[in-house]
Amino acid sequence: MTIFFDRLAAIVESSNDAILTETPDGTITSLNPAATRLFGYEAEEAIGRHITMLFPRERLGEEDELLARIKRGDHVEHFETQRVRKDGTRIDVSVTLSPVRDAEGRLVEISKIVRDLTGRRCIEAQVKDAADAIQTMHAFLEAAAEGVIVVNAGGRIVRVNAQTERMFGYTEPELLGRSVDVLVPARFRAAHQGHRANYFAAPRSRPMGPGPDLFGLRKDGSEVPVEISLSAVPTSEGPMAIALITDISERHRLERAARQHEKLAALATLSAGIAHELNNPIGIIATRIELMLEDAKFQPLPGEAVDDLHVLQRNIERVIRIAKGLLSFARQSPDERALIDVNAVIEETLLLVGKQLGKDGVQADVMLDRAIGPVWGNGNELQQVLTNLLLNARDAMPRGGRVEIRTAPEAARDTWVSLTIADTGDGMPPETVEKIWEPFYTTKQSGTGLGLSVSHRIILAHGGTVAVNSSPGQGTMFTILLPIHSTNNGDHCRA
């Protein structure tokens, strides 16, 4: 938008024809360099004075006549007359007047193009360029990636663009005349009203940048994180604020992913240390229990003592599984990477767990797109992820059901592959979905709570993303997105 205003201003400033603007009562408000050259007045000498300072005495009545014609809606083009320079010399000129009206059609300003007939210059091309610039600017607003909202000092919406309609789900007629608070979540409205009053008390430009988290309220009641830039525009109806609004949902998602990645990396380091320290004592305890049970076969112990040893053995085995999970969670193998056929990994995984799924009444439906490209990664790690998700799907369907495994190009990004695993199980409530990636969180009686955390870490290490969509009674779908290998991807060139 600024580009086109700048272009229009440049056309006016560089025009060889004098261009002036005045209020409906005849007060000069601006003049371009050509006007200062033509009449001999500097801008500061002319602005604020009456336009008749440029009229010969006998032609003072022309101004009232011309203004009356403009107010009646007449057009005044190429009106030939005389004007007076600062040094008193007269010049023959042609004057064209154009009204500038507000949204309600009221006359707020008059633009005058004064052509020196002693050195006639053609301005048609300049006017056309200006008109084209304005027309392109309106088209730019409608196609802009940012939402544009114009608000008056009372907080009422005066104008919105198409992107605002798409962002918030309202049509322009639904918003015009309404308080801008309709787009503000209820918990922020009181503070927003105070900020708006303070802004209009001292209007200024406020660019986008660091600041408090801002959210917009969509028509459907959902919220969208936004960043807002403000500019003040004086009008005959008082100051207006133009807000440029950017949807920063994707930025928030990436920031959350980065924070999660940092937390997991720190936890992985801690987990590796804990697992390392646990391994030796756990091994010693497990071995001694096994020896004691073996000795009990030849040197009978009281029945209760043997039962206690079996309880200890079961629990130490559980501790061993937790320690192995910690090691798996902490393990990083960046050097063990190669080109991976995702479809082949899926097929190999089903060879391992397919019979187990079938035994538990789970039918696996597989739909693989053979045209997808390879990814750069570790096949064993990806197989670990798939095994974990498939067994979780089985556990979510204790009465049997169906799990669908599908690969396809990612619709939004043609250089990514999408892998989905969807089951017809019990599904999960929102509070469970929010916690499933957290280490040690589990809803199973015997689970360690590390499986999904390990899977999440593996997918992040492959440069991918994983998301879950679930609700009670509606099943669960995991969507994994992985970047397709490219020989232009830095270190991947080693392949």
311 touches 341 (CB < 8 A): no
Looking at the predicted structure, is the pLDDT value of residue 308 above 70?
yes
pLDDT of amino acid 346: 92
Question: Among 33-37, 130-134, 265-269, which stretch is predicted with the lowest mean pLDDT?
Answer: 130-134
- Note the pLDDT tens digit of each residue in 259-294: 666 666 666 666 666 666 677 777 778 888 888 888
pLDDT of amino acid 320: 73
Question: Among 72-81, 316-325, 339-348, 418-427, which stretch is predicted with the lowest mean pLDDT?
Answer: 316-325
Of the pLDDT bands very low, low, confident and very high (cuts 50, 70, 90), residue 202 is: confident
Of the pLDDT bands very low, low, confident and very high (cuts 50, 70, 90), residue 334 is: very low
Please give the residue that has the higher pLDDT: either 203 or 156. Answer: 156
Question: Among 32-41, 59-68, 290-299, 475-484, which stretch is predicted with the lowest mean pLDDT?
Answer: 290-299
pLDDT of amino acid 209: 47
Looking at the predicted structure, is the pLDDT value of residue 136 above 80?
no
Please give the residue that has the higher pLDDT: either 346 or 453. Answer: 346
Question: Among 217-221, 289-293, 398-402, 450-454, which stretch is predicted with the lowest mean pLDDT?
Answer: 450-454
Of the pLDDT bands very low, low, confident and very high (cuts 50, 70, 90), residue 295 is: confident
pLDDT of amino acid 490: 43
Pick the CATH number of 144-247 from 3.40.50.2300, 3.30.450.20, 3.40.30.10, 3.40.190.10: 3.30.450.20
Please give the residue that has the higher pLDDT: either 231 or 122. Answer: 231
Tell me the domain boundaries of the chain.
17-122, 144-247, 253-331, 336-495
Least Cα distance to 24 among 60, 71, 57 occurs for: 71
Please give the residue that has the higher pLDDT: either 218 or 277. Answer: 218
Which CATH class name applies to 336-495? alpha beta
Per-residue pLDDT, averaged over 397-407, amounts to 92
Of the pLDDT bands very low, low, confident and very high (cuts 50, 70, 90), residue 40 is: very high
The CA distances from residue 354 to 341, 347, 395, in Å, are 19, 9, 14
Of the pLDDT bands very low, low, confident and very high (cuts 50, 70, 90), residue 491 is: very low
Q: Across the chain, what does the average pLDDT equal?
A: 79
Looking at the predicted structure, is the pLDDT value of residue 170 above 80?
yes
pLDDT of amino acid 116: 82
* pLDDT over 70 percentage in the chain: 76
* pLDDT over 90 percentage in the chain: 19
- Note the pLDDT tens digit of each residue in 71-103: 887 878 888 889 999 999 998 888 888 888 876
pLDDT of amino acid 237: 77
pLDDT of amino acid 174: 93
Least Cα distance to 116 among 44, 45, 15 occurs for: 15
pLDDT of amino acid 121: 42
pLDDT of amino acid 493: 36
pLDDT of amino acid 402: 93
Per-residue pLDDT, averaged over 368-389, amounts to 86
Per-residue pLDDT, averaged over 366-391, amounts to 87
- Note the pLDDT tens digit of each residue in 41-59: 998 999 999 999 999 999 8
- Note the pLDDT tens digit of each residue in 244-257: 888 887 777 766 66
pLDDT of amino acid 2: 42
Of the pLDDT bands very low, low, confident and very high (cuts 50, 70, 90), residue 159 is: confident
The domain over range 17-122 is classified in CATH as 3.30.450.20: yes
The reply to whether 17-122 and 336-495 are identical in fold is no
What distance in Å separates the CA atoms of residue 38 and residue 346, rounded to the nearest whole number?
80
